[in-house]
A and B are shown apart, each in its own frame.
Chain A
Amino acid sequence: MPNDKIKHIVVLMMENRSFDHLLGLLKTEIPDVRGVLGNDYFNQTTAGATMPVTDGALYQGQYIMDPGHDFTDVYMQMYGVPFGTPATQPNMSGFAQSYEQQGGNPADIMRCFQPSQLPALSGLARQYVICDQWFSSVPGPTLPNRAFAHFGTSFGRLDMSPDYFRSKPSIYQRMTKANKRGMIYYYATWSGTLGLTFLLSDQKRYFGLWGDFQKACSNNSLPDYSFVEPAYCDHAGVDANDQHPDHSVQAGDSFLQAVYEAIRSNDQTWQSTLLLVVWDEHGGIFDHEIPPMVSHVDGFTSTAPPFAFDRLGVRVPALVISPYVPAGIVDHTVYEHASIPATVTEQFLGPPITSSPYAREQYANTFLHLLTVDQPRMERPNFGAATPRAAAAMAAKPQIQPKSQAGTPVSALLSNQVQEVYDLLSRNHPQQARDLHPSSVKTEQDASQFIGKAMATIHPEAAQAEGKGKG
């Protein structure tokens, strides 16, 4: 149902990171998140070596080789066998081998960020709604997935040629027909937009730049629907902030905060806006959730490579941010990128089942139901992060380590982690917390045991699952 408080829907679509990679370790503090704890899932290399999921993801420099994410690469990642080898059920076991085949380090593809490394993303996740069942629409690369966000389908396309945007009824044109306004705000002319042929046909009707978006937010003049694109490349003193490997994840986290701050720059804008932050696809990086089958296919198929568009792609991070959503909840509804035009349609044009042109969008779940708060929430997230130096140290050194050194003194960083886990335990399980004493932790081994005991209380199901790696 449309929500009469919402006048603007804003979607920020980032690039190529999986849910587990960016948000999975939030499970350590929000147990309801279907994420990871570290060492609870693994893949194997071609030679049979075990690659556990762990922290230690770096802001940049870790994916010098861009992990493969074309359809055939994702097939390998999801089914664990090379494309062309028949397989029926995905088991998410081929990420390490796929990256190994690219020439990358298979251990890196299993790494996740600690929440403290991503203060904007984590801060917003704690304050608003985490959608932990948002899947990319296609087990493939960027453009087909973005096409689903703009059209509700990729018209049977899996490749990276940009013709999706020609002569097709996009959500923007449908908005125009209904006397509503939908726009794509791309970062700068040097960065470009992935709606290229739109750009050529009617630039100012459908397009603005990052500067225009900031101005529209501060003037409370946002269009009904805004789709924001980050900077896709480095340029003359500006860091690419799309988070595509190997672009800086930290720069992307700052951009996410900048988009949020732009909307918060005017209270009227904030009190009438619903912001979705989502990633277009997983970029070849590990995620443990098996993508579900599609309930209603739209009839488009691909011949090269052959695909019936009957299964979703790998899970991606997604947050729904608005003054009207409750704080810190996790939504387990299954979404895909067709949910974006479906939600915009539901809010501004009519029920998707009758107002959307393609089946995937007609039947996609929408996220307006998350707007359950009556009075606008005006509190701000805590974007306080570790100091840049601590963050750099955290980025450079994995914290979840399979084996701790018995006599190695505990580092300040690990000590902080112990304290954070203890704080969480004290809040949720005060009685059990009395038996643990963070001040007694002197060595890495102490820390490992301490965290292990605490986590067994916080997440007993994870403790049971530890060692029983999926796939």
Chain B
Amino acid sequence: MRMKCGILLIAFAACLSASGTHAQTPAGIPDKAEECDKRAAQEKVAWAKSGPHDWVASDFNKQRVETGQTWCHIWATNGYDRVHKGEDFGRVFLTGDGLHPTLGSIVPGSGLAGGLALNLDYAAKSHPVRFSGAVEARGSVNGFWEAGGTLNLLGSGKRLDDRHINVTLSAIHRELPQLTFFGLGNESSLANQSLFGLSDTTVGASGSIPLPKNFQILAGIEGLWAGPQAFHGSTIPSIEQIFTPANTPALNTSTGYFVYGAGIDWKYPLEECLQCWYKTDASAVFRSYVEGTGAPYSFRRFDVTWIQAFNLFPQARVDLGTFSITGRLLASFTSTGNQVPFYLQPTLGGTDINNVDVLRSYRDYRFRTPNALDFQAEYTHKIVDPLGLLLFYDVGKVALARSDLDISHMKHSFGVGFTLRAGNSVLFKLYYAWGGPEGSHTTYTGNTNNFAADSNLRGVF
């Protein structure tokens, strides 16, 4: 079995499959399973006789034959067995090498998005290097789309701890036609809600090198091109109708950057364990954004994240609860005369452009400045697997000046929700959040693309 990690998707496949016991067999599909298998065997023989073929073509052919065979099995079986055959079809259709459909969202506000992903693996014969590549394109019901590809190079070979050098090359373009903007600062007004579009393209390489004592070095270089646009297709005003370049840096200006950076990451314990009572994951990364067209928008950014998780009942035979605290600091530095373009500034509130949710009772992208500080406390508790209870409390603030990054005047949110888990991973969250003067927010996070990432379908986004 190839790509067994994709097995998490199989439950979805069962839903997609026809599981009725009296469904009509479609034309051209045998009603006996043995005939399905005979036909698949004949197709394989025919492929061998028509060869030789290159491995990519053979990969596609294999997927085609197996998709047809497993689809045929669905119609050649009945009852509960048909559900199993549906799961088997889903495994072939949604996972492994080849072309697969994807479903999910792109960024908050994009609406449901769907597309296709092409996944291919390759391992070098004479060198201990492994390659995995993915090309993916998705469009959403609200006109958002993104397309891109990644190529991951992973060191291989003999290491008792199985930690290797890892390099990822990627190229991604996004068209995000309607993002919300409320102005800069921690006290921006909800009444100033406006819309803008953003096009961005990144081409880069990033990597990690394992070090002793659970440390690893992170490094990367990237070309980044980004440009804002007006959006007039709504009753909500477009950004330039409310804001000006004087209070919104690079409001009408596209920018192009050479980005380079490095950092360090530390995990303790290094290996995941279910019975450990705590887990630490800390990272600090420094990046320099050098604007290449001469526009005054060069800056540097320091990004620190600390995640401390506590398993409250490590010896319990069931997973009773996990409490985690996350702290994030993001500070920007500019030389005299330079500013950080508004569309490259971090946001707090709802969910941000990287699908990270902080201050969840507020609107998506609610607070925006070059600097941000936030803390989150979350408690998850099993109800009946796979359902879990989620309680959380978020505090955070954004700051126009680094000197304002303190714990005064922080916004806060708290909430309750449900999680859907597979094993130790939270795949979906549905929650209701409140706190602060701007009401409440009900939302969900998670999509099949997150599944894809967790299940090694190598989602690009």
Residues of A within 8 A of B (CB): 16, 46, 58-62, 64-66, 68-72, 76, 82-84, 97, 100-104, 141-143, 157, 159-163, 188-194, 196, 199-205, 207-212, 214-215, 231-239, 241, 244, 246-248, 250-251, 253-255, 257-258, 261, 303-306, 388, 392, 395-396
CB neighbours (8 Å) of A58 from chain B are: 125
Which residue in A71, A76, A239 is a CB contact (below 8 Å) of B155? A239
Q: Are A161 and B10 in contact (CB under 8 A)?
A: yes
Tell me, in angstroms, the Cα distance from A234 to B242 when the chains sit together. Answer: 49
B206-224, CB under 8 A of A: which get 1 and which 0?
A: 0010100000100000000
Tell me, in angstroms, the Cα distance from A237 to B58 when the chains sit together. Answer: 28
Q: Are B165 and A305 in contact (CB under 8 A)?
A: no
Q: Are A237 and B123 in contact (CB under 8 A)?
A: no
Q: Are A188 and B274 in contact (CB under 8 A)?
A: no
Q: Are B125 and A258 in contact (CB under 8 A)?
A: no
Question: Most A CB atoms within 10 A — which of B36, B66, B70, B272?
Answer: B272
A-B contact pairs, 16 of them (CB 8 A): A60-B123, A60-B130, A64-B122, A64-B123, A65-B62, A163-B83, A190-B454, A192-B455, A196-B7, A204-B275, A209-B273, A212-B273, A233-B5, A234-B130, A304-B33, A305-B34
CB neighbours (8 Å) of A212 from chain B are: 273-276
Complex: chain A residue closest to B279, CB-CB: A211
Tell me, in angstroms, the Cα distance from A162 to B455 when the chains sit together. Answer: 15
Complex: chain A residue closest to B52, CB-CB: A103
Tell me, in angstroms, the Cα distance from A358 to B47 when the chains sit together. Answer: 41
- What's the nearest-Cβ distance from chain B to residue A197, in Å? 9
Given contacts A61-B125, A200-B385, A203-B318, contact A159 B1 (CB under 8 A): no
Q: Are A233 and B456 in contact (CB under 8 A)?
A: yes
CB neighbours (8 Å) of A251 from chain B are: 156-159, 162
Q: Are B157 and A162 in contact (CB under 8 A)?
A: no
B380-416, CB under 8 A of A: which get 1 and which 0?
A: 0000011000000000000000000000000000000
CB neighbours (8 Å) of A157 from chain B are: 84
Q: Are A204 and B317 in contact (CB under 8 A)?
A: yes
Of B37-45, B231-239, B429-437, B439-447, the one touching chain A: B37-45
CB neighbours (8 Å) of A237 from chain B are: 154-155, 163-166, 208, 210, 216
B335 at the interface (CB under 8 A from A): no
Q: Are B272 and A201 in contact (CB under 8 A)?
A: no
CB neighbours (8 Å) of B77 from chain A are: 303-304
Count of residues in B whose CB is under 8 Å from the partner chain: 91
Query: Which 7 residue pairs across A and B have the least CB separation, nearest first?
Result: A103-B58, A304-B33, A211-B271, A161-B87, A61-B125, A211-B273, A84-B38
Q: Are B156 and A304 in contact (CB under 8 A)?
A: no
- What's the nearest-Cβ distance from chain B to residue A364, in Å? 24
CB neighbours (8 Å) of A232 from chain B are: 4-5
CB neighbours (8 Å) of A231 from chain B are: 162
- What's the nearest-Cβ distance from chain B to residue A71, in Å? 8
Q: Are B160 and A254 in contact (CB under 8 A)?
A: yes
Q: Are B85 and A60 in contact (CB under 8 A)?
A: no
Q: Are A248 and B62 in contact (CB under 8 A)?
A: no
Q: Are B272 and A211 in contact (CB under 8 A)?
A: yes
Complex: chain A residue closest to B125, CB-CB: A61
- What's the nearest-Cβ distance from chain A to residue B132, in Å? 6
Tell me, in angstroms, the Cα distance from A208 to B273 when the chains sit together. Answer: 7
CB neighbours (8 Å) of A392 from chain B are: 126, 128
Which residue in B86, B166, B455 is a CB contact (below 8 Å) of A236? B166
Tell me, in angstroms, the Cα distance from A189 to B422 when the chains sit together. Answer: 9
Tell me, in angstroms, the Cα distance from A231 to B271 when the chains sit together. Answer: 12
- What's the nearest-Cβ distance from chain A to residue B281, in Å? 12
B337 at the interface (CB under 8 A from A): no
CB neighbours (8 Å) of A69 from chain B are: 1
- What's the nearest-Cβ distance from chain B to residue A289, in Å? 23
- What's the nearest-Cβ distance from chain A to residue B420, in Å? 10
Complex: chain B residue closest to A246, CB-CB: B123
Given contacts A161-B10, A200-B385, A235-B456, contact A46 B49 (CB under 8 A): yes
Tell me, in angstroms, the Cα distance from A189 to B130 when the chains sit together. Answer: 21
- What's the nearest-Cβ distance from chain A to residue B237, in Å? 43
Q: Are A83 and B41 in contact (CB under 8 A)?
A: yes
Tell me, in angstroms, the Cα distance from A435 to B166 when the chains sit together. Answer: 53
Tell me, in angstroms, the Cα distance from A61 to B58 when the chains sit together. Answer: 15
Which residue in A65, A239, A255, A305 is a CB contact (below 8 Å) of B156? A239
CB neighbours (8 Å) of A248 from chain B are: 123, 128, 130, 156-157
Tell me, in angstroms, the Cα distance from A439 to B47 when the chains sit together. Answer: 50
Tell me, in angstroms, the Cα distance from A166 to B295 when the chains sit together. Answer: 62
Complex: chain B residue closest to A104, CB-CB: B58
- What's the nearest-Cβ distance from chain A to residue B212, in Å? 14
Q: Are A214 and B271 in contact (CB under 8 A)?
A: yes
Tell me, in angstroms, the Cα distance from A52 to B389 when the chains sit together. Answer: 59
Complex: chain A residue closest to B40, CB-CB: A72
B263-291, CB under 8 A of A: which get 1 and which 0?
A: 00000011111111000000000000000
Complex: chain B residue closest to A305, CB-CB: B37
CB neighbours (8 Å) of B276 from chain A are: 211-212, 215
Given contacts A244-B1, A304-B36, 16 further A-B contacts (CB under 8 A): A58-B125, A59-B157, A60-B125, A61-B126, A84-B34, A101-B44, A161-B91, A234-B456, A237-B154, A241-B162, A246-B121, A253-B158, A304-B73, A304-B81, A306-B34, A388-B158
Q: Are B273 and A84 in contact (CB under 8 A)?
A: no
- What's the nearest-Cβ distance from chain B to residue A86, in Å? 12
Complex: chain B residue closest to A240, CB-CB: B130
B193 at the interface (CB under 8 A from A): no
Q: Are A208 and B37 in contact (CB under 8 A)?
A: no
CB neighbours (8 Å) of A247 from chain B are: 123
Question: Most B CB atoms within 10 A — which of A211, A231, A395?
Answer: A211
B319 at the interface (CB under 8 A from A): yes
CB neighbours (8 Å) of A396 from chain B are: 125-126
Which residue in A207, A214, A233 is a CB contact (below 8 Å) of B3? A233
CB neighbours (8 Å) of B38 from chain A are: 82-84
Given contacts A60-B123, A65-B58, A192-B5, contact A159 B85 (CB under 8 A): yes
Tell me, in angstroms, the Cα distance from A241 to B57 when the chains sit together. Answer: 27
CB neighbours (8 Å) of B88 from chain A are: 159-161
Q: Are A142 and B275 in contact (CB under 8 A)?
A: no
Tell me, in angstroms, the Cα distance from A244 to B66 when the chains sit together. Answer: 19
- What's the nearest-Cβ distance from chain A to residue B56, in Å? 9
Tell me, in angstroms, the Cα distance from A60 to B423 when the chains sit together. Answer: 30
- What's the nearest-Cβ distance from chain B to residue A181, in Å? 9
Complex: chain A residue closest to B80, CB-CB: A163
Question: Most A CB atoms within 10 A — which of B34, B62, B274?
Answer: B274
Q: Are A101 and B275 in contact (CB under 8 A)?
A: no
Which residue in B57, B160, B423 is a CB contact (below 8 Å) of A258? B160
Q: Are B273 and A83 in contact (CB under 8 A)?
A: no
Q: Are B423 and A64 in contact (CB under 8 A)?
A: no
CB neighbours (8 Å) of A210 from chain B are: 271-273
CB neighbours (8 Å) of A160 from chain B are: 1, 88, 91
B294 at the interface (CB under 8 A from A): no
Tell me, in angstroms, the Cα distance from A168 to B405 when the chains sit together. Answer: 56
Complex: chain A residue closest to B425, CB-CB: A189
B23 at the interface (CB under 8 A from A): no
CB neighbours (8 Å) of A250 from chain B are: 128, 156-158
Complex: chain A residue closest to B6, CB-CB: A233
Q: Are A239 and B61 in contact (CB under 8 A)?
A: no
CB neighbours (8 Å) of A306 from chain B are: 33-34
Q: Are B53 and A103 in contact (CB under 8 A)?
A: yes
Complex: chain B residue closest to A215, CB-CB: B273
Q: Are B274 and A239 in contact (CB under 8 A)?
A: no
Tell me, in angstroms, the Cα distance from A133 to B250 when the chains sit together. Answer: 72
Question: Most B CB atoms within 10 A — which of A46, A163, A190, A239?
Answer: A239
Q: Are B33 and A303 in contact (CB under 8 A)?
A: yes
